[in-house]
Amino acid sequence: RKEVEQDPGPFNVPEGATVAFNCTYSNSASQSFFWYRQDCRKEPKLLMSVYSSGNEDGRFTAQLNRASQYISLLIRDSKLSDSATYLCVVFQTGANNLFFGTGTRLTVIP
Amino acid sequence: SAVISQKPSRDICQRGTSLTIQCQVDSQVTMMFWYRQQPGQSLTLIATANQGSEATYESGFVIDKFPISRPNLTFSTLTVSNMSPEDSSIYLCSVEDGSVYGYTFGSGTRLTVV
């Protein structure tokens, strides 16, 4: 079983739509959680860390459910510039390693 | 956030040769990480490089194939040795970035082996 699993998509949504991505992780000892954004032929860039209480940054909201080992990312009022691959990333302290999901590809359509 | 300069950005190499990739960070960091991202795939950790000690390699990666140097707290190199077409991939370095409570990546090296 993969350490981190997420729906690869693609998600094609119109501008202004709300879209949600889900991610599950297998190791309950995982300590830190992140959403990264990766544009085509570019390096991943940190979008936001995910906190237990959930957190919001503008149009982006991240949620963590430790009991279900589930992480989500909600994007409201989608913009064309949101088109990218969104990577769910989990850090395990014991392994001292980041584990990456395969990414969910989002295309926002005019 | 930390700024990482990674070079080269891309290269096309003959099989059997070696390529050394460099990452320079604008601040001192304890650990640097080297990843591989194969086409259409997510990132896989190759090794963790600590200054003053040997790198720690993940399962499936060995020092003879991917030797790493870490001469100081701001610099590291990864060499891809005796390359074959299967080594064609994007290679990325990364550091833990306390300023953003996350990890920052270099811009990547796109390697094609012919």
The pLDDT tens digits of the residues spanning A58-75 come to 999 999 999 999 999 999
Nearest-Cα residue of chain B relative to residue A44: B105
Q: Which of B45, B106, B110 lies closest to A98 in CB terms?
A: B45
Say if A105 is an interface residue toward chain B (CB within 8 Å).
no
Name every chain A residue with its beta carbon within 8 A of the beta carbon of B95: none
pLDDT per residue over A18-57, tens digit each? Answer: 999 999 999 888 889 999 999 998 999 999 999 888 899 9
**What residues of chain A, 69 to 98, have a C-beta less than 8 Å from chain B?**
87, 89, 96-98
Q: What is the DSSP pairing of strand A11-14 with strand A104-109? A: parallel
Cα–Cα distance for residue pair B60/A6, rounded to 1 Å? 23
pLDDT above 80 for A93: no
* Tens digit of pLDDT at every position of chain B (114 positions): 889 999 999 999 999 999 999 999 999 998 899 999 998 888 999 999 988 888 999 999 999 999 999 999 999 999 999 999 999 999 999 998 877 778 999 999 999 999
Cα–Cα distance for residue pair B93/B104, rounded to 1 Å? 9
